[in-house]
Chain A
Amino acid sequence: MTVPVDLADGALGLYSAVGDAFAGRRLGFGRRRAAVAARFARRRGRDEDAVAATWYAGSLAEVGLVAIALPPEAGAQQRTLAYADAPLHGARIVAAFPSAPPRASDIVRWHREHDDGTGIPDRLRWDGIPADAAALGITHAFLEAVEDPDEPREGVEAVFALAAESGRRFAVDLVRSFREFILAGDWDGPLAFARSSIDDDDAIRLLAQRIDARDARTGGRSERLATLGTMLAQRLDLDPRRTARLARLLALGRATDPVPQDDFDPFSRFARDGRAALAHRAGAIAASVAAYAADAPPLAASATWYEDGNQEPLAGVLGLLLAVDALSPLDAPRRLAAASGTQFAPDTTRAYLAILNEAP
């Protein structure tokens, strides 16, 4: 279903937040970057199409990180080469959005290029770097300085910190015009575009698939959970569509680097801390986007146990989905029966076992 949404607070916002999560940034950094970059584009006299493309690219600039999964033992060189392709992966993700402005993909592709030819992914140099991409690059570096967790800065202070990169990472003229833009004030504040439409369900399905694909053990997991979640929801009188969406959103918990190991026995109490961390991350990412804020509580509670009390039925279903996905169908009846009343709600367990019994 295609619905018009305010893109910043819809699926695109979720993609942006996932980029933030993989980059280890504050959730919402990407949307702030988009707004500042779009304001800067307006100030540079770009037409509205270019401003929209810049905003779109600013939101999704770091989403390419989702495609990079390195083993923990990867060396520094291997990491350098893999991360050099992050903008390229991001460009491909953006290009796959039917509603994306045509230029957005190339802005993402080249926003990390440096004026002196030392950037990624292509080591373009000088005015071979598209001006909009270079402008997004300096905006990104500026906000990194503003939101530096070790040394947060005011805008004016941060823009002067960029001066050392004049003629190196950023063209001299670009640094000059960006400084004037910041010193003029009014560079911050939300800015959203609601001109395009996007299929939210489809976008989330693709996002979950991308996160699943980072690890051979989770390939295709989200779709399995969504299918089973729909069946369980129908039996438990829950909203099947929402359950399927939440099942896919569980993948957000794994939006971190390195790939979290979550294949420890899901029925073990020793796995609870790890699972709770994943659930809370999924909840936090969902909570950072207005359209999915209501989905955050069941996601965050999906690692709770029935015996803890006050378990929301939907959260219980999500917890059960994750657990049974890791089980052989032959083991499921025995182990689920043992966990009924402690880890899982009895009626949820019964509903799942009934589905198993009816399976051909």
Chain B
Amino acid sequence: MIDLPTNTRRISGTRLLDLCRARGISSLVDPFMGVPTHLNVLKRHGIAVHGGDLLEWFVRAGEGLVVNDFTILRDNEVAAVVEMLPGRIYPTDLFRGWEGVFFSEDQCRYLGVWHANVHALRSDGQTGIAVIGLWHVLCHWLLKAHHPDEMIDIPPSELAWHHIREAQRWIADNGKRNTVRRGDFTTTLGAVRADAVYLALPGRSAAKRIDARVWMWEAWWQGDPYLNIERLYRETVFGGATNDDVSYDRAAAAVLAAAESTPYIIIQSNARDADRFERLLRERRPNTERANLDRDEIYIIGKK
């Protein structure tokens, strides 16, 4: 059984929406987007959004939830994702490395089937919806391993069906061009112009403490249960030794420098780190304000 970390960062699209509306911000870029549900919320409310991340499955999810304006999976297409198709040969042992450690034999078989079925989808939008929907199944299984008697048993295909259908309820068009890309923050910030940059900066040595539910899904997407996700971060500014204050400040300052041309920079922080980020932002933007909404939710907003 694998530990499921607590202290999940609260990334709220509606909160960002309130901050954007109060400042007339109509487009926003998030170079560390993670699961892009917040960008989907902003998109639904008419804000042009752009995201980037190093993990490919986040980007795939973004293609489903952020870039995609209208593509959905019809019932027969959902069925073709969640179940084995007759006559097709599946790599059912692809995730055997996880069997007995994190998942049951049956679950590992389904992970292999879904991996093959999702990679066979022809549209990026459909792929993204399936990726985000099936990720919820993985999260459910990992949680159920902790609480086997307190969560009901649901057949894998039924659970997958439910979550894929649930994920695609949020597809909407905002009449604007929305993008996601795989790359570090300099790639994302260099590729798009927006009214605001939103930064929920990675924590110290974030790659070493990444949630199992996140790295496992990247491993699933890549079809490699032994994937070492740390290597993706190693060459970024947050990938080296950022345990000490000086090097972490240097990494954060590099991000702020890359966002220099953007009219607004919005940093989300918490009571522990807000002073540090405010100091760093104020060095570059004297016109900086702070919204203390909660101990876990402090926004530092710098205007150019």
Contacts and interface: CB of A to CB of B under 8 A. Distances in A.
A167 B294 contact: no
Interface stretch (A3-11, A115-123, A343-351): A115-123
B107 to A, nearest CB: 16
Interface residues of A, number: 31
A140 B151 CA distance: 20
A176 B15 CA distance: 30
A121 B169 contact: no
A81 B44 contact: yes
Interface stretch (A26-34, A35-43, A125-133, A254-262): A125-133
Interface string B269-295: 000000000000000000000000110
A164 B152 contact: yes
Contacts of A106: 293-294
Interface string B16-60: 010000000000000000010110110010000000000000000
B147 A125 contact: no
A88 interface: yes
B76 interface: no
B143 A172 contact: yes
B10 interface: yes
A4 B140 CA distance: 48
A128 B172 CA distance: 24
A46 B198 CA distance: 33
Interface residues of B, number: 35
Contacts of B37: 117, 122-123
A124 B12 contact: yes
Contact of A121 (B11, B14, B163): B14
Secondary structure call for the B interface: helix
A100 B153 CA distance: 42
Contacts of A125: 8, 139
A166 B40 CA distance: 26
A163 B152 contact: yes
A7 B82 CA distance: 51
A205 interface: no
A166 B152 contact: yes
Nearest to A118: B166
Contact of A175 (B8, B136, B150): B150
A168 interface: yes
A136 to B, nearest CB: 16
A129 B136 CA distance: 16
Interface string A227-247: 000000000000000000000
A248 interface: no
A128 B143 contact: no
B14 A117 contact: no
25 contacts: A80-B169, A81-B170, A81-B172, A84-B170, A106-B294, A110-B12, A116-B136, A117-B136, A118-B136, A118-B166, A121-B13, A122-B38, A123-B37, A127-B8, A128-B9, A129-B10, A130-B294, A164-B152, A166-B147, A166-B150, A167-B140, A167-B147, A167-B150, A168-B151, A176-B150
